[in-house]
Structure 1
Amino acid sequence: MKLSKSKIDRAGVGLAKENYRDADEWIEYEYILDEYRKAHLQPLTETTLELQQWLTGYESDYYVAQRLKRKPQITRKLGRLSVRLTQLQDIGGCRIIVEKNADVDRLLNFIEQRVAEQSSLSIDKITDYRDRGRDVTGYRSLHILLSRGGYKLELQVRSRIQHYWSESIERTSVVYGHYLKESEGDPAVIGYFQRLSDAFFELESGREPSAKERLEIDELKIQSEAIIAASEKGRVLSSHVNEGIIKTLVEKETRNPNPINNWIIIFDWSTGAFVSWDIVGRSPEEAMDAYVRNENLYPVDKDFEVVLIGSSKIATVRRTHSHYFGIETYDNVLENIEESIIGFSKRMDIDVGARQILLKLHTKHFWGDKGVATSTLKNHFCQNVLTFDSSLEVLLQKGLVYQNGPNGPVSLNIKMRNEVEQYV
């Protein structure tokens, strides 16, 4: 079905403003938006593959991945800004993470040279938010607006520290329940991230934040943590990278060797845990069918987030979309600025799945000699813990639980009661 611009824009307005005659018209608008999103996937994938091919000759470390903008983000943006659906320039997006801010400039020059050598891809506009930060939030990144086959695509290029900040505020926004990058929420929380971004910029520029600046950021952090802790989901903010998740995804990836795999990742922000992850087809039709189906099954108003991400390696997605996997603290940041200034990035030493196992054992009073069969714990009490095996291994290594034999009964370690109580 050929979609005209007017029909696409009318669907965008109807969904953003919830303005439709009846259920049939709403279904039609949803279909049009999904078809319009789908049309971006092929040119986006071609662009990502081309970028990857170019970057094989690039002499610094980088990570690259693509994503189609989620439906709630699209409708919210249309409702917030005076813009039509066909005017949105970031429905198809690609992200490249490099080591340092200076590498962003080098990569921009490199990409400009390569684009000039061919005709299928063009650069329409370059917007640099790095020096001053965008608006009051402090967001920093280089945005390159590309065109391919009549579709606008957005390429974001960031340093590791800029990306770390962006992923931190993304995770905090979901936990807090306010879109901080859109200036929603308490000014203290927004101010914390703005000042943190400024401090990171100073570090990347070779300048140390002053003692006064550090103290002010630390005070904002304390205020912000209290505000976040008061929210219902405050504990989800603490993050731990579960290597078991990465291992499972890599195993799936090796069974599907492709230049780019499309992944559907479903995350439950109410628990801070994955619901599902799977490789879907390379074709736009197959990928979008899975995307839309899962968006309907796991709605955003129930705290689910469904995302379609494309990458040549799942380990790259861990870097480019780290707020799903747990945000690591970068050593090169901590070497230059006290850990207290990092605030929300502080790592927990067990993952969400491990905490869920502990909580279940604790509420069922499985201590010491009173254990529960591993199979019962996994398949009955913890059937929704996708990382059960790796999470249980973490608990065993820390001595928080006992297991009588490889598949024997599991119970909490009485000698570690105080530690267990702190986790649950």
Structure 2
Amino acid sequence: MIPKSKIDKAGQVLSDRDRVYDELSLELGYVFDEYRKMHLEPLTKITLEIQSWLQSYDRKYYIAQRLKRKPQILRKLRRLSVRLSQLQDIGGCRIIVDKNSDVDDLIRYIRVKFSEIGYARVVRETDYRELGRDDTGYRAYHMLLDVSGVKIELQLRSQIQHYWSESIERTSVIYGKRLKEKEGDDCVIEYFKHFSNALFAIESRHELPRDVEISLQEKRIRAEDVISREANSVNIGGHVNSDIVRTMSECEGVGGQLNNWILVFDWNDGNFVLWDVVGINTDDVVSSYIRYESDFLEEDNYEVVLIGSSDISTVPHTHSHYFGIEHHNAALEGMEDSIIGIAMRSELDIGARRILRTMKTRKFWGSNTIKISTLKNHLCRNVATFDASLILLQKKGFVVGSGPVSLDIKMSNEINTFV
């Protein structure tokens, strides 16, 4: 066990940007790495435990874990002026469910389950959903867990709460500022706070007053103007790398086994750089993490993240922006893309919406049909979830036909809402 005083000394020295790197820095770097590594085994244990509980959960969910990045930890120490041993989110597990009411149900379910195991307990619960965090507008439900003496953070989010989080991450890449850490112009951060409030109102089934819509639109325009002026040196030319998930899935082990994945993202152009599956052995996993962090430095605008999942296809849902930035022409989405109809759009996955968009653009309506093989292998060849997404569209009645298919003209209003 590493003495707490040495852990805190490591955090203090390594987070001091003015300090000249010396032998003490090197020694305390090892202490930092060992302390972070201590979180991985209990994190994996509780993630797999929760995953086993969710097998009887009869609604859609996504679950993944992550071990916090070293640069992110050091920035947090500087920003909050806290000790390293006080940080409680070095190991984190995230669960995303459809609706806010599903979050409530899951909270009750998980509380009961934690009362039945002896090695882990809920230490504290914090609900950011109704008011959002004062600094950014972030919304989620957090449970602080004690797992075999190690603090682990469990995040529970609805799809809409997660949509906001991914939106601010995507904009951060384009802007070149970490907005969740309050970097950047106040008006951009203010926009996201109001954006979060608007999404909460919609998720709560409250009608958004027209003056609020107009005010939010004005804030968006001001924020976009700031971003366009301050981020003119950033050349975002990224794209969402959908095919890579299919390739990664071929490297997965036996179903149900959790694998750890290294993802490297380039902030310079918004592109996914590379991935590596690093297994489950704690020493090997963290050694690989440290090596990649050394090879792809934050100073060069790279971001290295370690994510654990039993199904890699869930990771683009839980951490989507690491796979590339799709819409880079405008930093912030317009009202029609972000507010109107979002509650309905959350019912369809990204793949289903891409299929709809493709068929609508190519005017495959009614009697103007297309073969499924042509749609899959040519027009939608980058949709990794094509088969499942098409079945979903057929179940909803948007796509009709069992051989050649087309969009149902009678469903045009609903389809237009999604795309």
**When the two structures are superposed, what TM-score results if normalisation uses the length of structure 1?**
0.75
Per the alignment, in what secondary structure is the counterpart of residue 137 of structure 1?
coil
Measured against aligned partners, the alpha-carbon deviations of 1:249-287 in whole angstroms (never above 9, x if no partner) come to 12222x565610000001111122222101102011000
2:142 aligned with 1:143: yes
Q: Which residue of 2 aligns with 1:101?
A: 100
| Residue deviations 1:54-87 (CA, integer Å, cap 9, x gap) | 0001121110000000001111111111321111
Per-residue deviation, 1:327? 6.9
In the alignment, structure 1 residue 262 sits paired with structure 2 residue 260: yes
- Report deviation, 1:232: 3.7
Q: In the TM superposition, what is the alpha-carbon distance from 1:390 to its structure 2 partner?
A: 10
Check the 8 A contact 1:8/1:33 in 2, yes or no: yes
Distance 1:7 1:20 in 2: 17
**Alignment partner of 1:308 out of 271, 285, 306:** 306
Pairing 1:318–2:316 present: yes
**Identity fraction in percent:** 51
Amino acid paired to 1:177? G
SS at match of 1:259: coil
Aligned-pair RMSD on alpha carbons? 2.7
Residues 349-383 of structure 1: CA distance to partner in whole angstroms, max 9, x if unpaired? Answer: 99xxxxxxxxxxxxxxxxxxxxxxxxxxxxxxxxx
How far residue 328 of structure 1 moved from its aligned partner, in angstroms, is 8.2
Query: In the TM superposition, what are the counterparts of 1:286-301 in structure 2 within 5 Å?
Result: 286-301=284-299
Residues 215-259 of structure 1 deviation map (CA, whole Å, 9 limit, x = unaligned): 1111111222222223046553x8753321221112222x56561
Structure 1 distance, partners of 2:103, 2:256, is 28
CA distance in 2, matches of 1:187, 1:18: 25
> What are the equivalent positions in structure 2 for 1:6-405 lying under 5 Å apart?
6-18=5-17, 22-230=21-229, 231-232=231-232, 236=236, 240-253=239-252, 259-326=257-324, 338-339=336-337, 341=339
Render the CA deviation track for 1:89-121: whole Å, top value 9, x for unaligned: 000000000000111111000000000111111
Number of residue equivalences: 342
Verify the 8 A CA contact 2:271 2:324 in the aligned structure 1. Answer: no
Q: For each residue in 1:291-321, what CA deviation from the matched residue of structure 2 results, as whole angstroms up to 9, or x when unmatched?
A: 0000000000101000000001111111110
Structure 1 unmatched ranges of 5 or more: 330-336, 351-388, 395-424
Amino acid at match of 2:97: V
Cα contact 2:136–2:180 (8 A) shared by 1 = yes
Q: Secondary structure at the match of 1:208?
A: coil
Give the Cα separation in 2 of the matches to 1:239 and 1:105. 37
Structure 1 CA distance for aligned equivalents of residues 60 and 174 of structure 2: 31
- 1:194 deviation in Å? 0.8
Q: What per-residue deviation string (whole Å, max 9, x for no partner) do you get for residues 8-38 of structure 1?
A: 1101001112475752111112111111010
Q: Greater shift after overlay, 38-47 or 73-82?
A: 73-82
CA 155–288 in structure 1, closer or farther in 2 if over 3 Å, else same:
same
Q: CA deviation at 1:392?
A: 12
SS at match of 2:250: helix
Instruction: Determine the C-alpha separation between the residues in 1 that align with 2:130 and 2:310.
Output: 31
The secondary structure found in structure 2 opposite 1:207 is coil
Match of 2:358 in 1: none
Instruction: Report if the CA contact (8 A) 2:95-2:157 is conserved.
Output: yes
Query: Which residue in the other structure is 1:332 paired with?
Result: none
- What is residue 372 of structure 2 aligned with on the other side? none
| Alpha-carbon distance between aligned partners in 2 of 1:233 and 1:221, rounded to the nearest angstrom | 21
SS in 2 for 1:155: strand
TM score, norm. by length of structure 2? 0.76
Tell me the secondary structure at the aligned position of residue 59 of structure 1.
coil
Q: Which secondary structure state, in structure 1, belongs to the residue aligned with residue 74 of structure 2? A: helix
Q: Residues 306 and 390 of structure 1: is their aligned pair in 2 closer, same or farther, counting only changes over 3 Å?
A: farther
In structure 2, what is the Cα distance between the partners aligned to 1:144 and 1:249? 31
Partner deviation per Cα, 1:197-229 (whole Å, 9 max, x = no partner)? 001000111112111111111111122222222
Structure 1 contact 217–341 (Cα < 8 Å) conserved: no
Moved more, 76-85 or 88-97: 76-85
The amino acid across from 2:87 in the alignment is: L
Aligned partners of 1:201, 1:147: CA distance in 2, in Å? 30
The change in CA–CA distance for 1:316 and 1:328 in structure 2 (over 3 A counts) is farther
Contact map agreement 1:176 1:233 (CA 8 A) in 2 = no
Give the 3 Å change call, closer, same or farther, for CA 327–143 of structure 1 in structure 2: farther
8 Å CA contact retained: 2:238, 2:271: no
Distance 1:259 1:225, change over 3 A: same
